[in-house]
Amino acid sequence: MEILSRLPVKSIVRFGCVSKLWSTLTRHQSFINLFASRSSSGQPRLLVTFSTCYKKYGISFPQHQNPDGSYPPFYSFQIKNTSYMRYVRSKSVEGLILLPGFKIWNPTLRQFLALPHPSEHPSQDCECYLGYDPLEGKHKVLCIVDKEYSEELQVLTLGAQESWRVITKGIPMHFPTGGLGRCFNGILYYEARLLGDGKNIIMSFDVKSESFSPIKYPEGPSHLMLDIIQGRLAMVAFCSFSNIVDLYILKDEDGHEWTHQRFLNIFGKSKLWLEPVYFKGITDDGELVFAPNTFPEPYYIIYFDPKKNSTREALFQGVKDVDMRFLHIPCKRGWGTGAGEPIDAP
C-alpha cells in the first residue's frame, strides 16, 4: 500500500487489473485516504470534460505553470459511459462527482457507481447533492424528493450497506431551486426557497450532524452562481458581452452579510477571446475560471484573480488523436450546467 500510494494515478488504475487482491486494495478507503493525502500536497489539477459528435473526453491539467512559463504535461482520456455524462450534478467532492440518474463518477479511477433510487416511484422529481464529512471520511448524498404537497429529505451514505434514510427533525420548510451544490469543510450549500414567504436563500447542510441552517441570499442581479473562494461562500454573476464580474462573498458565519465587488472589463483589450467565454468555477487559489463554449485549435482557459485584478491564460494546442474541429462543451446558462464545466479534482 505504501509503494502504490506513491505512484501516478495512471499506474494505479493499470495495476488494479493485476489481480482481485490488487483491485480491492486500490479501492479500499484507507488506501484512497493515503493516496489523497499525498496527492493533495502536490500541484492541484483541474478537469474539463467535452464532447465531439460521437465521443466524450476528459482532460486533466495542472492549475499552475512551470517557473519558465510552460505547462506540465496534461492527460486526456475517453469517457466510455457517455449516457451518464450529459450534465453533471456536482463539482468534485473529494474526487467524486454526482451525475444524473443517481450515478457517482470517479474520474481518477474512471469508474461509475449506480445508487439505488430514493423513491418507490422513479418518475418522481428529485434534487440531489453530494457532500463529504472530513471527520469520518464519508461521502453522503442528500436527496429532496418532490412529493404531493410536500418535500421529503433523504440521505444515503456511500460505501455503507444501508438504504436511504428519511430526515424528519429540524428541517426549515424549503425546496431547492436548481443548480449545483457546493461542499466545503463538511458543509454542503445549495440554493433554495423558503416555503411561506418565498424568499431565496442558501441552505447549508452539515454532512456529519445532518442538520440544516438557512443563509440569507445576497441582494444583486439574478442568475448568481454558487461557489467557494478560499474557504468562504461566494456568489458570482458574469456578463460575457461586457466582461463584467459581480463577486459576492459571505462575510460572517451566521449568513447575514455579504461583501460585493464589481470588476469591469476584466479581459482588457486582449483579442484572444473571439468567442464568448463562460464562468466555470473558482480554483483553490481564488482565481475565477473562464472557458469557451466550443474549442477551436488552439484554445485558451482564462484565470481572473480578483485580489490582483489581473488575468492570465493557459494555451492548449490540442488533444492527441482528437479532431479539435468538432469539440464542443455544453454551455452553462443560468443555473443549467453542462458537462464542460472545469471541476476541481484531485
For residues 160 and 85, give the distance between their C-alpha atoms in angstroms, rounded to a whole number: 25
The per-residue pLDDT for 5 is 83
Confidence at residue 319, expressed as pLDDT on a 0 to 100 scale: 59
What pLDDT, on the 0 to 100 scale, is given for residue 41? 54
Residues pairing with 300 in the sheet:
315
The ranges of the chain with pLDDT < 50 are: 324-346
Lookup: cell for 147: 412529493
pLDDT value of residue 254: 72
User: Cα separation of 178 and 54, whole Å?
Assistant: 28
pLDDT of residue 60: 78
Tens digit of each residue's pLDDT (9 = 90 or more) over 179-232: 889 999 999 999 998 887 778 899 999 999 999 999 999 987 777 899 999 889
The torsion angles phi and psi of 151, rounded to 5 degrees, stand at -120, 130
Q: Which residues contact 30 (CB under 8 A, 6 or more apart)?
A: 1
- Quote the pLDDT of residue 241: 78
Confidence at residue 259, expressed as pLDDT on a 0 to 100 scale: 93
pLDDT of residue 156: 94
Q: State residue 305's pLDDT score.
A: 94
Burial code (b: 16+ CB inside 10 Å, e: under 16) for 274-300 equals eeebbbbbbbeebbbbbbbbbbeeebb
The whole-number pLDDT of residue 261 equals 94
